[in-house]
Structure 1
Amino acid sequence: MKARFSATPVVLGLALCVLFPLFFIGGPEWTSGLLHRSAWNLGHLLFFGLVVFTWQAVFGVGGRRQWLLLSAGVFLVGGIIELLQDGLGREADWQDVFRNMLGAWLVMIWRQPSRSVAQWLPAAGLWSLRALLTTLLVFQIVPVAEVGFQQYRIARQLPEVFELYNPDAVPVAMTLRINDAVHERGGKAFNDRFNTRLVVEPGWNNYRIDLSEVESALAAVR
């Protein structure tokens, strides 16, 4: 009788091979939006969760020994990645190691059958760990969702409204400039951005900038 071949581990392995280089190439730049930078960090959760899922797809869901082995492996590999990133000019973020562990633990805890941990972890403890790790996941996702909602609201807010406070007794003249990533990566010419003069009177000042004017100013020189 022929053994049944499963394509799932192969597909998962290929996905990991595609995702792994993203730890060292690509990613958000300093000109990238806050949403891009925030969401990018969630990739650590996805990648190492996928690593554990692939391992278990090949070797099966194990017990306490597998937990210890995979936890140690994820911690070690995650630490090495951060050290390599620091050496390659990318900023090391040791919170990413926590995200790596969280992604791995989430897969292990939710795929762990209750009966298989009865000998070393009570059912109440299993569900407590599931609740704790899921709560930590929510704490990772909520800030990204808040940034996304804020950017969506700003994008739909026309004209743009903002306030400035002048604590002095005399007006202050200021120049407001608005530019995009194309301007930053280019020659940074003065006429390749939106410029306007503001007079900030003593106390609070409200300003309204029609974003269509900003768009027109940039489009006029391109």
Structure 2
Amino acid sequence: MLKTLRPIHLLVLLLLAITPLFFVGGPSAVALPVIRYGWNLGHSLFFFLAIGLYCRFRPITGWQQVSLVLVSILAVSLIIELIQTQVGREFSSQDMLRNLVGTTLALFWRARTHLHPSLSSFAALLLVLDLVGFAWTAHTDWRIQRQGPLIEDFERADALPYWQGPIEQSQDWVIEGRYSGQAALRAGPSSGVSLAPTLTDWRGYTHLALQVHNPSDRQQMLTIRINDRAHETSAQAYTDRYNQSFELSPGWNPIIVPLAQVQSAPAGRAMAMDQIYRLGLFFAQLDQPLRLTLDDIRLSSD
């Protein structure tokens, strides 16, 4: 039977098979950013193929039809995103824009005489920027996962993309190299920063080591949190991750975390040391603003 199917029929079947993936399936929330980015690029490809197929059967003969197609795709995109919020996904205006980019490029392919040149040029520019973003994300993921045993030394221009919290490169206090990471933390019940995803595979190492600078003139208690992907996608119970507090004296403090303790920290299971996802550092009940500085975060086998 497949021998009798024309390429156009196979394309129709492919689009029908892909359509449910707008609502079910796809990479998990803890997949590497490049995987999630690549998946989302599929929006542009899907609508490019779908609208190209539509134009094959219903040729575009005027700018009014071009406008109708674009408005219809905008409405369909809005409906898709609203439905996705009901099935555990987030509303994404960027994905809506990707749908319109794919649609516009398909119209340029099938009906360019009825499409304003500036519209197709703008869509092409957005696609190029999206592909550049994908390449940059792929490079960042590759760097983070290949630079072990180093986790972060803040020396590179792209050192901060996966850090969450008010952290920036700084030269105020540095233990090694030219830069450190400095977080301007506010007073509150929980103030800190985290790196997610971090270097994934911690197997073969015995310790996590980092340098932490306490700028205040009194001791502070810093809590380090480490968890794997299984914890990140669960209810995130406190007893299912590593949490340990360390006393910081004024000035620089070397912190050493035995990875045997990290592996055995979750109650009732062993942490997956080849699936580490988040490294967090925070203060509980910080009573005044604090500039926390981090440097030379790495694994060791000493």
Q: Which amino acid aligns with 1:52?
A: I
TM-score, length-scaled by structure 1:
0.71
1:202 has 2:192 as partner? no
Q: Which runs of 5+ in 2 are unaligned?
A: 154-180, 182-211, 253-292
Q: Which residue of 1 aligns with 2:216?
A: 168
Change (3 A) 1:153 1:8: same
Q: Which residue of 2 aligns with 1:133?
A: 123
Deviation (angstroms), 1:130: 3.3
Q: Which residue of 2 aligns with 1:50?
A: 49
- Once the two structures are superposed, the pairs formed by residues 34-49 of structure 1 within 5 Å of their partners are 34-49=33-48
2:228 to 161, 180, 189: 180
* Deviations, residues 131-173 of structure 1 (Å, cap 9, x unaligned): 3221111222222222211111111112223445533234545
Q: Quote the Cα distance in structure 1 between the aligned partners of 2:138 and 2:249.
A: 31
Using the aligned pairs only, state the percent identity. Answer: 31
Change (3 A) 1:184 1:94: closer
Q: Which residue of 2 aligns with 1:64?
A: 63
* Deviations, residues 92-120 of structure 1 (Å, cap 9, x unaligned): 2233222211110012114445xxx2xx6
Q: Which amino acid aligns with 2:144?
A: I
Q: Which residue of 2 aligns with 1:217?
A: none
* Deviations, residues 43-69 of structure 1 (Å, cap 9, x unaligned): 221111111111133344644244233
1:145 to 124, 135, 138: 135
Q: Which residue of 1 aligns with 2:94?
A: 95
More strand by share: 2
Q: Quote the Cα distance in structure 2 between the aligned partners of 1:55 and 1:148.
A: 33
Q: Which runs of 5+ in 1 are unaligned?
A: 214-222
Q: Quote the Cα distance in structure 2 between the aligned partners of 1:201 and 1:138.
A: 49
Q: Quote the Cα distance in structure 2 between the aligned partners of 1:81 and 1:196.
A: 45
Alignment coverage as a number of residue pairs:
200
1:156 to 133, 146, 151: 146
Q: Quote the Cα distance in structure 2 between the aligned partners of 1:45 and 1:166.
A: 48
Aligned-residue CA RMSD (Å) = 3.4
Q: Quote the Cα distance in structure 2 between the aligned partners of 1:47 and 1:165.
A: 50
Deviation (angstroms), 1:14: 0.8
TM-score, length-scaled by structure 2:
0.54
More helix by share: 1
Change (3 A) 1:41 1:201: farther
Q: Which residue of 2 aligns with 1:10?
A: 9
Q: After superposing the two structures, state which structure 1 stretch, 170-179 or 149-158, moved more.
A: 170-179
Q: After superposing the two structures, state which structure 1 stretch, 152-161 or 52-61, moved more.
A: 52-61
* Deviations, residues 10-52 of structure 1 (Å, cap 9, x unaligned): 1111111111111110123332332233333222211111111
Change (3 A) 1:28 1:171: farther
Q: Which residue of 2 aligns with 1:31?
A: 30
